[in-house]
């Protein structure tokens, strides 16, 4: 199971973040970085921003770097879940004063 989660996170980071990680807090930024990487790689193979004949390796490298950033982010999200450090945005924890029977304003 762990190998499948890590391989999914490297190949498709948004899917890994949503399926195996803290999807509510990390899926959107990981998706933005991953899509930017994909578009940059394709754009680089089409000539890049200068429209040159051939491949713009700087643009392809930028896309690969963005893909790597999104993959590492998704892998860190999965490791947070494995270490039980993932807290959802919608999860509320009882405060100490509420558990002791006090009020929020004292």
pLDDT of residue 61: 95
- What is the total residue count of the chain? 106
Residue 63: how many CA atoms within 13 Å on its side-chain side?
19
Mean per-residue pLDDT over the chain, rounded: 76
CB-neighbour burial class of residue 66 (10 A; exposed 0-12, middle 13-18, buried 19+): buried
| Averaged pLDDT, 33-37 | 92
pLDDT of residue 41: 94
């Amino acid at each position: 199971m762990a190998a499948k989660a890590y391989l999914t996170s490297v190949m498709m980071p948004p899917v890994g973040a949503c399926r195996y990680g803290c999807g509510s807090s990390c899926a959107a930024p990981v998706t933005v970085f991953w899509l930017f990487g994909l578009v940059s790689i394709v754009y680089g193979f089409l000539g890049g921003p200068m429209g040159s004949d051939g491949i713009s390796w700087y643009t392809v490298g930028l896309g690969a770097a963005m893909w790597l950033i999104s993959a590492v982010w998704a892998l860190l999200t999965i490791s947070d879940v494995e270490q039980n450090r993932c807290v959802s945005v919608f999860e509320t924890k009882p405060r100490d004063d509420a558990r002791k029977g006090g009020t929020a304003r004292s």
